[in-house]
Amino acid sequence: MRLPRLLGMVFALSVPVFTLAQTAGDGGAIACQEASGARPGSGVSYKNQVENTDYHFVAKIPDGLTAWGAGPGAPFHGFIIYLDQKACINFEIGIDVELPEDGHGQRAGGRELGQRIRVGSFSAIRTTSVGVINGVGFENVRVTLDVVRSGQPNYVEITLIAPVVEKASAEAKLQEFIDHLRFM
């Protein structure tokens, strides 16, 4: 009689932990809401293409979609393109500063590991993480690169966030975005 009661207690104690792990995401995957504070209908909207002279790039927004950035007057550090309610492409760019804890002007986090790809004329690293968020399997594809202009490195990170069931169509949009991204 004690064994079923003990198993019931163990199960009851494990359920909240499992639910918390699902809500927060496991395996390193994040949801679009965690990637950016920009939401459709608020902030600066971009259609067709984004050209930024500070960071010297031109990005084509996939047809029929809108990119959303921070509010007017805020410093530009990227935008997010919502592909649908759960999938998005988050584009971040900034000046890459050398931090004492990393000691080499690149952000920490194992960017050296992953698949090498090309983004325009630059070498990039592509990594993938998967996890479960609120019971849905998600995949995050992260493409990172440094673009050096006049001796100043700019850190670029492009992250596709999509439910695993939408992987093929979402990755096609990511590839379209990368194929049309140009650094001048």
pLDDT in tens, 138-183: 999 999 999 987 788 899 999 999 999 999 999 999 999 999 999 9
Q: What is the pLDDT of residue 19?
A: 27
Q: How far apart are CA 124 and CA 114, in angstroms?
A: 9
User: pLDDT (tens digit, 9 = 90+) per residue, 14-64?
Assistant: 333 222 233 344 558 999 999 998 999 988 999 999 999 999 999 999 999
* pTM to 2 decimal places: 0.78
| Residue 100 pLDDT level (bands cut at 50, 70, 90) | low
Structural domains of the chain, with CATH: 26-183 (3.40.1000.10)
Q: Which of 137, 134, 126, 122 is nearest to 167 (CA)?
A: 137
Over the stretch 1-24, which tens digit does the pLDDT of each residue have?
A: 333 333 333 323 333 322 223 334
- Alpha-carbon distance of 31 to 149, in angstroms, equals 32
